[in-house]
């Protein structure tokens, strides 16, 4: 499986936010998109997830054009934005049932993605009463219903405690080991370390970067 992004462009009110952005990722890989706030990282993921329309460029998965094709995106892409787009008045279980059929949800809670994320511990709790970390895990769990092969994760561990962060990192690692692709934006050193390919986004331009564990050097490049 190969995800190919080529020459993506996006402007808002005449300002170029993405400038011919290109990258690729293969099965079993985790790609880190690094950069300062406002550099275009979230816009890139939103376009790949079909939330925003691109002004130009292509995105293919194994040669199939999926950019803006709703059915292909739904089948192939799991997207967890920075926020937690959940229905606050419903329980965690009821939010999951908006994305999973009951049998699939129960299976995933027993020994699948939802178990890895530790969601079974707060299923009956109303979302408004969950901690930020629980909401993040639930949001990720909802986004990966159907086990899409490509995950887009926008700062998945931001502001989480160590336990919640470990759940999400375990989930990303399991997805990678299962042959999936994960593309994540991050400012977190732990997240950066699990990637096997890195890119820096600056002023809408994406360039490949070789991360050697030197955070000081990385910061100077951003």
CATH number, domain of 189, equals 3.40.50.300
In a domain, 90, yes or no: no
In a domain, 98, yes or no: no
In a domain, 96, yes or no: no
What is the phi/psi pair of residue 19, to 5°? -120, 95
In a domain, 216, yes or no: no
Q: What pLDDT is recorded for position 72?
A: 84
In a domain, 207, yes or no: yes
In a domain, 102, yes or no: no
In a domain, 61, yes or no: yes
In the chain, the number of structural domains is 1
pTM here is 0.89
In a domain, 120, yes or no: no
Q: What is the pLDDT along the chain (222 residues), one digit of tens a residue?
A: 999 999 999 999 888 999 999 999 999 999 999 998 889 999 999 999 999 999 999 999 999 999 888 888 888 999 988 877 899 999 999 999 999 999 999 999 998 889 988 898 899 999 999 988 889 889 989 988 989 999 999 988 876 778 878 888 888 998 999 999 999 998 888 889 999 999 999 999 999 999 888 888 888 888
Question: Which range of residues forms the domain containing residue 173?
Answer: 2-84+146-211
């Amino acid at each position: 499986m190969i995800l190919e992004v080529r020459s993506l462009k996006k402007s808002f009110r005449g300002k170029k936010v993405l400038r011919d952005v290109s990258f690729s990722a293969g099965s079993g890989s985790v790609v880190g998109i690094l950069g300062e706030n406002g550099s275009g990282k979230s816009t890139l993921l939103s376009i790949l997830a079909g939330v925003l329309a691109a002004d130009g460029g292509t995105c293919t998965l194994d040669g199939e054009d999926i950019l803006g094709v709703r059915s292909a995106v739904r089948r192939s892409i799991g997207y967890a934005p920075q926020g937690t787009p959940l229905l606050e008045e419903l329980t965690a279980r009821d939010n999951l049932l908006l994305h999973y059929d009951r049998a699939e949800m129960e299976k995933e809670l027993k020994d699948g993605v939802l178990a890895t994320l530790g969601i079974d511990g707060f299923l009956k709790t109303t979302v408004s009463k969950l901690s930020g970390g629980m909401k993040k895990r639930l949001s990720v769990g909802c986004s990966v219903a159907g086990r899409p092969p490509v995950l887009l994760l926008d700062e998945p561990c931001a502001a989480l405690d160590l336990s919640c962060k470990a759940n999400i990192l375990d989930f990303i690692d399991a997805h990678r080991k299962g042959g999936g692709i994960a593309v994540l934006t991050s400012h977190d050193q732990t997240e950066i370390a699990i990637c096997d390919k890195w890119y820096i986004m600056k002023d809408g331009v994406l360039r490949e970067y070789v991360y050697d564990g030197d955070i000081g050097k990385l910061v100077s490049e951003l």
